[in-house]
Each structure stands twice: as C-alpha cells, then as structure tokens.
Structure 1
Amino acid sequence: MRVINSHARIIHQPKEEVSELFKTLATNEDLIWPSKQWPAMRFKDGLKIGSRGGHGQIRYTITAFEAGSHIKFEFTKPDGFNGTHELHMRSLSQDTSEISHTITMNTTFKASFLWIFVIRWLHDALIEEAFDNVENYFSKEKKATTYNLWVIILRDFYKRKSIQTKHA
C-alpha cells in the first residue's frame, strides 16, 4: 500500500527562532518531542547522517540532515515499512514559519494493517503534540491535542503491555 501522511503547522515566529528549538530534537533538553506522553526519540550518535535510533518500536536511520531546517529518516522497523519520514521547517515571511512532517512509504500486506489500525492513529496524535510544543513555546495561549477514543484505547493497551513485560 502506498502511504503519504502529512502534517503542517504555521508558527508565527521567524525561522531563525524556530530553528533553535529544532536543535534540541532527540537530546535530553528536547523542546519539541512530547516525551512525557510518548517514548522519547533517541539516536545512538546524535542527529547526524547515518545515525540509527527511533522511538518506541519505530526505528530509523538519518539519511539527510540540515540543522534547523530539515531531517530525513529511513524506516528500519517495523518490518514492511519501506520508506521515509521527513521533518521540514521553512520561512514563509520575515516573522512566520511553517513546520511539516511527511511520511512517504510503501507497506507490505501485514504492515498495511499495522499502519491502518494502529500506527497511523498514534503517529498523528504524536506529531500534533510535537507541533503543539513548538507553537506553545512561543505563545501564552497553550494548545493541547486531544486524543480520540481509538488513540486512548491503543495507548492504554500499549501501556498495559509495557507494564506486563517489565514484570515478566
């Protein structure tokens, strides 16, 4: 199955300001990734081309990187996710930027079911929360992504599974 999944958000700040946040991605001082609610994004060798890492059960390798503007990851797990995801930041005007995240992949038959019924829902909620973090960094009026019922059920299932695995 061909998958293209895109998210974008306008941030009313110059690209130079937003770029500073992107430099913290996958570090202990990460200001973007919603690691209080989701597994943290980590890379063995930091943010650089060739570094391997991911978040939770999703694994990838950095294939392109331009600090503060663009990062491209190639999926290595789950099996059957054949493609990439990219995080971009661009200037729209002197004081407005756009951040975007796009998955472009082909999935095997089994991976298609995983994407359709599980990963897509969790991914969409996670990315929107990450974008909330960027927007909230610059705003007094805080945004908060709300989970739909399916995301709540999936998160509860994985939380219980994680607890059972730790106690096994």
Structure 2
Amino acid sequence: MAALVHNIHERELPVGATEVGRLVDRIGAADDPLWPVPAWVPVRFDRPLAVGADGGHGPIRYHVTGYEPGRRVELTFHPRTGLIGAHTLEVEERGPHACVLRHRLSARPVGRMRLLWPALVRVCHDTVIEHLLDNAERAVTGTVVHPVRYPWRARLAVSMESARVRGVPVPAAATLLHGSVDRPDLADAFALRVPPGTTTDPQDWADAVFRNPPRIVVALLRLRNRLVGPLGIEQGDASAFDTIARNEREVLLGTDAGHLNFRAGVLVEPDTDGTTITVATLAATRSRTGRAYLAVVRLVHPLVVRAMLRHAGRTTVAPWRSTAPVRTAA
C-alpha cells in the first residue's frame, strides 16, 4: 500500500485574513485571481463555490466537501483521479494586519498515481501551488518577493499541454483572408487551443507567431534567402509579415512578390473554456518560377507553420518563457 502523502505550502501575507479570504472565495470563478492561468488549466465547478460543487482542473477531479466563506475550502478527490484523500485551502489569521494562506494535501496515491505522483504530479502540484501563492501575494501587495521557479518537469508538462497543433480547414470565420488571393494554389490552416486567461488580441498572436519564430525556422528562412537569389526570387524580410488589415478577431498579413502572392490570416476564437488560434495561409503563383518554388515550399510549409504556432503557444502561455507580461482580455 502506498504511503499517505502530506504536502503543505503556505505564505505569510501582510494583510488581514478578510482580504485574503475574499480571494479564496473566488476559486473556480471566471475571475479567479489565484489559480495560475494560462499556464495551467483553470479550476472549474459545476455550480458556484459551495459544499457539493463538483469539478476540478484538467484530469484532477474533486468535489467541495467543506466551505467556510472567507476562511476555508476543502476539496475531496474523486477516486478515479488516483488520489484517496483531500486538499484544503485555508486562511489563518495572525492579527489585524497579517495572515497565512495555506494549502494542505493529505492523500494516498493509488493505481497509476503511485508512479505518476513521484515521477511528475508532485513537482507539478508544488509548482502550481507556489504560483498560486505568488498570485495571492501579488494581489495584496502588488509584487512577489521570491517568484516560483519552474522545474524542468513542470515546464515540460505546461509545454505539452499548451502546444498541441492540428491541421484544420481554412475557417469560414476568417473573413479578411477569404478573397484576399485569387485562385490560390496553396490553402491550409493549423489551429492551437490555449486555456482561458491567454490573450485574445489577434495582433498579439500574429506578433508571437511571425515576429518571434523558433530558432530552427529562423535558420530555414536564412537558408531560403541564400538559395533563391540565383533563381530571381526576392529575398524575404520582416515586411512579408506586415499587417495588412485587422478586425476584432482576425489579423491579415502578407505581401505580393514577383513569383507569388502570399497571405496569412491569424484568427482568434475565444469561448468559455479557452481560445482557438488558427493560422491559415493562401498563396497564388505568378510565374513558372513561382510554381517551381511553391512545389518545394509545400514540402516544408506545414512543418514550419506548426513549429511557429507551437512556439507561440509555449511563449505566450508558459510563464518562464515570456519576455513581457501577457495581455489578457478585459
């Protein structure tokens, strides 16, 4: 029988318990200020926070078995989660201007979780809770003295969850893209699903995809520029990805060259459970050289777009990769 796991994280905060308790009462709400989205799948319940509410985050499922507003939330794991026990988020008063926010887990791993807990789940759990405590500290003080550092296993878990790119039809909702190229010889699209809390500004995503590509794509573009010169094809630069038009949900980029016309649409479609980012491409050749060029590009184009979209997802979602704060929807 697996040993019982006792796991405690706590943070002293220089404010009264009532102020922190108001944050705890919003766990699982659409405006939850504590749970670290978009890095991790948000907590969701089937009803407002109360005893009996059922939900969880991703594959970790639990239901509310204890609730003292402003003080304590107890969540008991569903047996299918692989943990027999509960975890609790509680606020302990330490005077009129001080309190402790504490997360306590007491559970026995069973089934596959006996291997998953020490191999991966424990480090992810520790990282999530420390990030949650950071968010509490930031909410009441405006800053975090010692922000959580993501171990490699937690980085891997977030990256895998936030970078699943799939091929899709060119979306009908991409109204700026449709009709931007006459009789396209290439038309494809790739989509990425990201969790709630991620930016829904299409220009943010267009910049993340096309202005900050992964190193392998940068290397391929440099190689392309060296090879196409003798063929009379213009060398590409950043202007090929200039924004031509945009609306609330879509950005249209592209350029016209002697060998082909190129357009890319970045479409952002948010809903209650997350946001779908779709990068769609249209290209039409203008010469025999353009047709030969496109025949080669077809072989690598899907790999390049997938890599760029995957990298954008990781950079935008993963907190350790971001070079600037992610703007979230109002």
**Given the two structures, how large is their TM-score scaled by the length of structure 2?**
0.47
* Alignment correspondent of 2:148: 145
Q: Extract structure 1 runs of 4+ deviating beyond 6 A.
A: none
Alpha-carbon distance between aligned partners in 2 of 1:93 and 1:74, rounded to the nearest angstrom: 30
* Alignment correspondent of 1:24: 26
Alpha-carbon distance between aligned partners in 1 of 2:74 and 2:128, rounded to the nearest angstrom: 17
Contact 1:82 1:105 in 2 (8 A): yes
- Residue 112 of structure 1: how far off its partner (Å): 1.3
Alpha-carbon distance between aligned partners in 1 of 2:81 and 2:38, rounded to the nearest angstrom: 27
Select which of 57, 81, 98 maps to 1:55. Answer: 57
- Residue 156 of structure 1: how far off its partner (Å): 2.1
Does structure 1 residue 133 correspond to structure 2 residue 135?
Answer: yes
- Residue 10 of structure 1: how far off its partner (Å): 0.3
- Residue 145 of structure 1: how far off its partner (Å): 1.5
* Alignment correspondent of 2:267: none
**Given the two structures, how large is their TM-score scaled by the length of structure 1?**
0.90
* Alignment correspondent of 1:157: 160
- The structure with the larger Rg is 2
In structure 2, stretches of 5+ residues that fail to align are 167-190, 193-330
Contact 1:33 1:133 in 2 (8 A): yes
CA distances 1:52-108 after superposition (whole Å, capped 9, x unpaired) = 000011000100001110011110154431110011101011110001111101122
Against the structure 1 CA distance between its residues 62 and 140, is the aligned structure 2 distance closer, same or farther, given a 3 Å change threshold?
Answer: closer
- Counting only pairs closer than 5 Å after superposition, residues 1-168 of structure 1 correspond to structure 2 as 1=2, 2-76=4-78, 78-143=80-145, 144-160=147-163, 162-163=164-165
CA distances 1:38-63 after superposition (whole Å, capped 9, x unpaired) = 11101001211111000011000100
Larger fraction in strand: 1
Alpha-carbon distance between aligned partners in 1 of 2:111 and 2:44, rounded to the nearest angstrom: 29
Paired letter, 2:141: S
Q: State the Cα RMSD in Å.
A: 1.8
**Mean Cα deviation higher: 49-58 or 141-150:** 141-150
Alpha-carbon distance between aligned partners in 2 of 1:57 and 1:72, rounded to the nearest angstrom: 18
Contact 2:75 2:86 in 1 (8 A): yes
Against the structure 1 CA distance between its residues 109 and 29, is the aligned structure 2 distance closer, same or farther, given a 3 Å change threshold?
Answer: closer
In structure 1, stretches of 5+ residues that fail to align are none
- Partner of 2:94: helix, strand, or coil? strand
- Residue 155 of structure 1: how far off its partner (Å): 2.2
Paired letter, 2:46: K
- Residue 125 of structure 1: how far off its partner (Å): 0.6
- Partner of 2:104: helix, strand, or coil? strand
Equivalences, count: 165
